[in-house]
Chain A
Amino acid sequence: MLAYRGGDAGAFETLYKRHRGGLYRFVLRAIKQRSSAEELFQEVWIRVIEARNRYAPQARFTTWLYTIAHNLLVDHWRRKGLSLVQLDEEPAVAAPDNPARQAEARETLARLVHAIEALPAAQREAFLLHEEGGLSVAEIAAVTGAGEEAAKSRLRYAMAKLKAAVDEN
């Protein structure tokens, strides 16, 4: 980011390639519609570009990036009201040889998707920040503005609910 701030457009491209997938899925699974997710994803990066001169490497770039995304998500939620995730596509699963196992795996993933959708927004966000952003509890706390204990508790509850959903059989 410092290189980009200094005028190196190639540095931005490297950063973008590293974070585009995770951030996109974070946004997509946090809000309802794909079109809104694309807009919001784009908006996050535009904010990054506009605020490059203010970027100070006090924390990881990832934390800064997801903080911007979190703020935009909060704005989005405030405008629309809290909403659950609705993925447009059925989960595509690598097909095991055994059709029975294939069906079971598909069912497990479907349950996971529904369980993620059913999480309270704060717990879902904590889980997605952890999985997609690779953030630690302390970083999740920094991004969401919650205390570390609150972040830890959200993540723990989210994990417990998802585990229960996946193990349910």
Chain B
Amino acid sequence: MTDDPKISQRYRELPREEPPRHVDEAILAAARRAVVSRPAPLVVPSGRRRWYFPLAAAAIIVLAVAVTIHVERQELDAEVFEAVTSPKAPPEEKVAQPERPAEPASPRVFAPDPKPQRQVEPPAPQAEQSRQLRAQRDAVPAGPRVAPAPSAAPPPPAAVEDQMLDKSQQTPAAVPQAKPEAAKREALMREEARARASREADAVSGAAGARLSSAYASPEQWLQGIADLRRQGRHDEADKALAEFRRTYPDYKISEAMLEKVEKK
């Protein structure tokens, strides 16, 4: 008795409410906007193929960020090295110049030279010092903090550069360096370190956003990811991810057990 014509007939005698006109108009306008603004692809990717583009985009972003950071670190290393070696370089170059008059002056102290000359090579203690500085800089984020604040975030890269600069200024070779030049270089390094920290933070947050929407191969995995966020107490992110999930899979039925995990209690 799942069908009763009498009940159906009575039900049809009830008032036939219709949606108000403004609702109709809003929906139809939204439908037209969607088609105009973003035409649907002719061949809709399905199955695993629908993840190819988001995954490729995420991989390119990660690669670009990694290369940028790597290049910047190398440049910074070169600058630090120059900062350490420059106070001694001028007198040595004066000595070396008469021996190679035909060569144009090279801006890089450590540029390869066809004739090995002791004068242009960085002295051993300075090379050692440079290595120490680099090791110290690489170790700083993981190692103990030098001047910890009580509620502390990890020390900003600018602070690390400051430490490096202080060390270089303490070396005997750096003592006679001209003060205005050092101050200028110090300001330049701080500025660059701040910019780099900002770019790294942007890259990290961008990667996290991309991960939320595209890193899961299936709705189940996506939901598990949301449940993990919820368990970690990252409720804002979980709420956003759940809303995004609902928009992406509006007809997906979330099981009761999973709902318990992904919904805010």
B-binding residues in A (CB < 8 A): 4-9, 12-13, 16, 20-21, 24-25, 28, 38, 41-42, 45-54, 56, 64, 67-68, 71-72, 75, 78, 89, 91-94, 105, 108-109, 112-113, 130-131, 137, 145, 152, 155-156, 159-160, 162-163, 166
Contacts of B4 in A (CB 8 A): 159, 162-163
Contacts of B2 in A (CB 8 A): 130, 137, 152, 155-156, 159
Provide the B1-15 mask, 1 if CB < 8 A to any CB of A, else 0: 111101110110111
- Residue B251 lies at the interface, judged by CB distance under 8 Å to chain A: yes
A25 touches B46 (CB 8 A): no
Select A109's contact among B13, B19, B27, beta carbons within 8 Å.
B13
Name which of B40, B44, B249, B250 has the most chain A CB atoms within 10 A of its CB: B250
Q: How many A-B residue pairs have CB under 8 A?
A: 131
A135 to chain B, nearest CB (A): 11
B15 touches A20 (CB 8 A): no
Closest 6 CB pairs of A and B: A47-B250, A145-B253, A12-B31, A67-B251, A24-B19, A68-B250
B46 to chain A, nearest CB (A): 7
Q: Nearest CB to that of B9 among chain A residues?
A: A166
B1 touches A51 (CB 8 A): no
Select B27's contact among A16, A52, A89, A137, beta carbons within 8 Å.
A16
Select B28's contact among A12, A38, A92, beta carbons within 8 Å.
A12
Q: How far is the CA of A165 from the CA of B15 in the complex (A)?
A: 18
Select A163's contact among B6, B36, B249, beta carbons within 8 Å.
B6
Provide the B128-149 mask, 1 if CB < 8 A to any CB of A, else 0: 0000000000000000000000
A159 touches B7 (CB 8 A): yes
B31 touches A51 (CB 8 A): no
- Can you list 23 A-B contacts with CB-CB less than 8 angstroms, sorted by A residue number? A9-B32, A12-B28, A12-B35, A20-B19, A20-B24, A24-B17, A38-B20, A42-B26, A45-B27, A45-B30, A46-B27, A47-B250, A50-B247, A54-B44, A54-B249, A67-B251, A67-B253, A68-B250, A91-B14, A130-B2, A152-B2, A162-B7, A163-B4
- Residue B41 lies at the interface, judged by CB distance under 8 Å to chain A: yes
- Residue B39 lies at the interface, judged by CB distance under 8 Å to chain A: yes
Select A159's contact among B1, B23, B30, beta carbons within 8 Å.
B1
Select A131's contact among B1, B8, B19, B44, beta carbons within 8 Å.
B8
A13 touches B28 (CB 8 A): yes
Given contacts A12-B31, A49-B31, A54-B249, contact A166 B10 (CB under 8 A): yes
- Residue B95 lies at the interface, judged by CB distance under 8 Å to chain A: no
Q: Nearest CB to that of B252 among chain A residues?
A: A71
Q: How far is the CA of A54 from the CA of B13 in the complex (A)?
A: 37
B15 touches A89 (CB 8 A): yes
A139 to chain B, nearest CB (A): 12
B250 touches A51 (CB 8 A): yes
Select B42's contact among A6, A64, A94, beta carbons within 8 Å.
A6
B44 touches A53 (CB 8 A): yes
A156 to chain B, nearest CB (A): 5
14 new A-B pairs (CB below 8 Å) besides A92-B15, A130-B2? Answer: A7-B35, A9-B31, A9-B32, A13-B31, A20-B18, A20-B24, A38-B19, A38-B20, A47-B246, A51-B251, A52-B34, A67-B253, A112-B10, A159-B4
